[in-house]
Amino acid sequence: MKRENINTLGDLKKSGYQPKTIQQELAHNLKTRLQKGLPSFEGLIGYENTVIPDVERAILSGHNMNLLGLRGQAKTRLARQLTALLDEWIPVVEGSEINDDPLDPISREAKELIAEKGDKSPINWLHQSDRFYEKLASSGINYFSRNILHQERAANCLVDNRLPVRNKGYDAAKNRKRHN
């Protein structure tokens, strides 16, 4: 499919394009990378036999993920590298604030445009690098998060029912056994 020749919804339909969810995109592109023997994530030293295989399984299974951990454990680096597994280009409804898929729009504006213009509805192409942006937390939020983390460490740990539980002999803050 040559995107240069596809400028309208009608052109897109004729090309045979099928929309995919982000999970489908990630899984398909990761599978392709693995079949070619390419690394799925680069620069994550020490995680080749632990975190990376778990993330690969989660992506291939179509699962959602939360990356949790202390500062400096490569959560942001991993999240940034996930964008390399997105399709390079995707079609979007021209003028859509939320980059609606032309074949499956969700915003009122995109639906109205397609209802009005039909197959002549204009589309644009969005590059993978424009599909992700980072919103860093303010220092106040970081301070709040650190305080919550310290409160959790002080309680030793929280379980699903949110009752404090004594963690026998383990110091989470220092990641080692305590000697009592």
Secondary element (H or E) of residue 87: none
For the stretch 89-124, pLDDT in tens is 999 999 998 999 999 999 999 999 999 999 999 999
CA distance 150 to 159: 16
Average pLDDT over every residue of 164-178: 44
Q: How far apart are the first and last CA of the chain?
A: 66
- What residue spans define the domains of the chain? 1-17+88-133, 21-86, 139-177
For the stretch 116-164, pLDDT in tens is 999 999 999 999 888 877 766 655 444 444 444 434 433 333 333 333 3
* pLDDT score of 178 more than 50: no
- In sequence order, the β-bridge partners of residue 126 are 90
What is the maximum span of the chain, computed from C-alpha positions, in angstroms? 74
* pLDDT score of 61 more than 50: yes
- In sequence order, the β-bridge partners of residue 164 are 158
Q: Is the pTM of this model over 0.95?
A: no
For the stretch 10-49, pLDDT in tens is 999 999 999 999 999 999 999 999 999 999 988 888 888 8
